[in-house]
Amino acid sequence: MAKSILITGATSGFGSACAEIFACNKWNVILTGRRKKRLENLEKKLGNFSSIYTSQLDVRNSNEVENLITDLPQEFRDIDVLVNNAGLALGLEPAVDASLDDWEVMVDTNIKGVLYCTKAVLPGMVKRNRGHIINVGSTAGNWPYPGGNVYGATKSFVQQFSRNLRTDLLGTKVRVTNIEPGMAETEFSLVRFKGDKKKAEKVYENADLLQPEDVAEIIYWVVNTPERVNINTLEVMATCQAWGPLQVHQS
Ligand code: NDP
Ligand code: 8X3
């Protein structure tokens, strides 16, 4: 029987690339996101390779998440892998100038969304004594940068939540991995800069950054390691990215 994967934020970037690689490898794929048209297009594209189920939902809405799980058709019901990928950064201003509304959206999506999806899927995994939760963290959860204030902090939450989940799941065969990519060329910056295409393109200019399919391939590999292997965290950067020096303010 084909395995089943639920991907949040499948309408773009990492999520969409994950949908493609798992569908091409004959997994039953559950695709979610807010943009319905994109879900429909993906279903058309990937439906030739495997069974696809789409659901338009906002991960910030716990009822929508619960209903998705309750209403799944039989062939998708036993979820083997959950990819908690839906997420975003809004703004790059220093904390003093940042918008509180933006902070709340990031907390609600990147933290609460991960919690709602995990809580909805975990009981089935524990009952079946199999499954894998892949959380999409970020280098921003490990390394601070100016303007990364709340976005980075949400990803630190995801990292520690992933570790704590592992400790709670000890004795079961349910695995948990936090994937921590560095800068990657997706719609991430377009969203961060609220549709300002020029600003977004500037971030990726003249740099050979991570591509969505790079991250999807890593996730596919992590999931397909033997069941006895748990990759706890996997941090990955483009070769063209590295840390900077610590800053000193000299007056
Ligand atoms: P994209 O903007 O390309 O994709 C983000 C996805 O998240 C979209 O499919 C979007 O779908 C979905 N999403 C956002 N908010 C919600 C919501 N409230 N409910 C449901 N779905 C939502 O960015 P990436 O692919 O880059 O981002 C994917 C993940 O990777 C995020 O968690 C991000 O923080 C993380 N990340 C990104 C990096 C990068 O440099 N690109 C590096 C490290 C981590 P829709 O709008 O249709 O709802
Ligand atoms: C996205 C990577 O460095 O833009 O998580 O925050 S970064």
Q: Which long-range contacts (CB under 8 A, 24 or more apart) does 169-174 make?
A: 169/126, 172/125, 172/126, 172/129, 173/129, 173/130, 173/131, 173/227, 174/122, 174/125, 174/126, 174/129, 174/130, 174/131, 174/132, 174/133
Mean pLDDT of 190-204: 98
The confidence score (pLDDT) of residue 8 equals 98
Answer whether 150 contacts ligand 1 (Cβ < 6 A). Answer: no
pLDDT at 128 over 90: yes
The confidence score (pLDDT) of residue 41 equals 98
Q: Which amino acid is at 84?
A: N
**pLDDT band at residue 1, thresholds of 50, 70 and 90?**
confident
Q: What is the DSSP letter of 167?
A: H
The residue nearest atom 4 of ligand 2, judged by CA position, is 183
For the chain, the average pLDDT equals 98
pLDDT in tens, 32-59: 999 999 999 999 999 999 999 999 999 9
Work out which ligand 2 atom sits closest to the CA atom of 203: 4
176 φ/ψ angles, rounded to the nearest 5 degrees? -135, 130
Q: Which CATH class is domain 4-236?
A: alpha beta
Mutation test of ligand 1: which of 14, 31, 90, 145 has the most ligand atoms closer than 8 Å to its C-beta?
14
Domain assignments of the chain as residue spans, ordered by start: 4-236
Answer whether 106 contacts ligand 2 (Cβ < 6 A). Answer: no
- Annotation marks residue 116 as catalytic: no
Work out which ligand 1 atom sits closest to the CA atom of 185: 41
pLDDT in tens, 200-238: 999 999 999 999 999 999 999 999 999 999 999 999 999
Answer whether 140 contacts ligand 2 (Cβ < 6 A). Answer: yes
**pLDDT band at residue 113, thresholds of 50, 70 and 90?**
very high
